[in-house]
């Protein structure tokens, strides 16, 4: 398997509404350093995959309005590597766009697809699993996905059910044939999933040969496959942007999971135990961070807390004094023009809050 045939697609088009008010339309969470590492989520993701994929083969798919942010955060990247979506249409159009564009340049490509905002604590093992997946998928037979061995009955993740008895023990790594993909379950069902030993968290990371995913798109999303295939005369030309503008207006809003993976019969899963979190919510960030003796996660430079427990407190202004008293299980996020104080487990209501702000205030706050 020649390394120059390996490609990586980083999906960086979301707006991260569940990380509001830190994540905004103008600068979503993938462009922020929420973990205080000195690197944004996008920068960490790019550098992680650049260790095993040629830098020139890493493509970033994002909203057209974020082009300058990507070029600023990933110095030296060729603008040709930044695929600009005119509209948000979920992951299937995003992947179809990248697939047909890469195919125009390299019909022998094996590609991996990953979100831009995941936390990986065991990076060495994670990259080994990815390399194993690239080798497995390079023969052009299977669609490969990564499943994360669950450590708790989590209700914020989708799940992958595998056939434990149908394990293909290749000379690279064991792979399980996938039975079903399941959306986020309730707490009771999540407990059943974890106890069964057949369910893994859905990482949203995929690996496949370019011909394999094209065949799957043609079979399960034929209309979408057809319109992106019609772009072969426009990719890598000045007419590409106009073609994509028209194409996205014709695309349904659909995920690759629902559109392809749930319907395909040739899906295999590699199990990965790599300290993974999708960091999709403040709650998930809280669960990953070190707590003080009162089970608080405090990301402020200047604070005084009294009778505060089980809470997450975030303020990036080093000069501002944060004084809190009598809070248990709360989320407090202070930004330049929004102060949010709410119970920590009520962040699912953020989308409604954002809609209300958009209706009653103005877009300065979102």
pLDDT score at 170? 55
Residue 64 DSSP SS3: helix
What average pLDDT does the segment 305-329 reach? 95
- Domains annotated for the chain, with CATH where assigned, are 3-280 (3.90.550.10), 283-365 (no CATH)
Q: What is the pLDDT of residue 249?
A: 94
DSSP H or E segment with residue 104: helix 91-105
At residue 362, the pLDDT reads 82
The pLDDT of residue 125 is 92
Which of helix, strand or coil describes residue 154? coil
The predicted-structure confidence for 123-163, as pLDDT tens digits, reads as follows: 999 999 999 999 999 998 999 999 998 989 988 899 999 98
**Cis before 21 (ω within 30):** yes
What integer is the mean pLDDT of 262-287? 90
pTM comes to 0.93
Q: How far is CA 15 from CA 9, 29, 115, 116, 178, in A?
A: 18, 7, 12, 12, 30
CA distance 180 to 5: 30
Return the number of other C-beta atoms located less than 10 Å from residue 257's C-beta: 20
Query: Does the pLDDT at position 168 exceed 70?
Result: no
**For residues 257 and 184, what is the distance between their CA atoms, to the nearest angstrom?**
13
Token pair belonging to 14:
């979301």
Report the C-alpha gap between 211 and 106 in whole angstroms.
11
Contact 104, 235 (CB under 8 A): yes
On the question of pLDDT at 1 being above 70, the answer is no
Residue 120: partners with Cβ closer than 8 Å, 6 or more residues away: 48, 126, 274, 275, 276
DSSP-assigned beta bridge partners for residue 180? 161
Q: What is the pLDDT of residue 240?
A: 96
């Amino acid at each position: 398997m020649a390394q120059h045939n390996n490609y990586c697609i980083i999906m960086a088009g979301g707006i991260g509404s569940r990380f509001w008010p830190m994540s905004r339309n103008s600068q979503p969470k993938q462009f922020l350093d929420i973990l205080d590492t000195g690197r944004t989520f996008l920068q960490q993701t790019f550098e992680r995959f650049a260790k095993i994929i040629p830098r020139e083969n890493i493509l970033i798919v994002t909203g057209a309005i974020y082009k300058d942010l990507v070029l600023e955060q990933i110095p030296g990247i060729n603008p040709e590597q930044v695929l600009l979506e005119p509209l948000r249409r979920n992951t299937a159009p995003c992947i179809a766009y990248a697939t047909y564009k890469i195919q125009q340049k390299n019909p022998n490509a094996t590609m991996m697809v990953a979100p831009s905002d995941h936390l990986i604590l065991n990076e060495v093992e994670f990259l080994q699993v990815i390399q194993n997946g690239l080798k497995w998928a390079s023969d052009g037979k299977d669609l490969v996905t990564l499943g994360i061995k669950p450590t708790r009955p989590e209700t914020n993740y989708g799940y992958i059910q595998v056939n434990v008895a149908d394990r293909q023990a290749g000379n690279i790594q064991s792979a399980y044939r996938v039975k079903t993909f399941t959306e986020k379950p309730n707490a009771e069902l999540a407990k059943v999933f974890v106890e069964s030993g057949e369910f893994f968290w859905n990482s949203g990371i995929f690996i496949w040969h370019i011909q394999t995913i094209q065949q799957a798109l043609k079979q399960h999303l034929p209309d979408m496959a057809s319109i992106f295939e019609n772009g072969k005369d426009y990719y890598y030309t000045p007419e590409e942007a106009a073609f994509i503008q028209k194409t996205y207006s014709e695309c349904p809003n659909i995920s690759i999971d629902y559109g392809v993976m749930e319907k395909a019969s040739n899906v295999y899963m590699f199990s990965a135990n790599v300290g993974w979190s999708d960091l999709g919510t403040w709650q998930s960030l809280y669960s990953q961070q070190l707590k003080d003796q009162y089970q608080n996660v405090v990301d402020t430079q200047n604070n005084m807390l009294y009778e505060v427990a089980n809470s997450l407190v975030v303020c990036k202004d080093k000069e501002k004094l944060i004084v809190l008293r009598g809070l248990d299980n709360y989320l407090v996020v202070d930004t330049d023009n929004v102060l949010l104080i709410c119970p920590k487990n009520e962040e699912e209501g953020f989308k409604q809050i954002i809609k209300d702000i958009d209706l009653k205030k103005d877009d300065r706050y979102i």
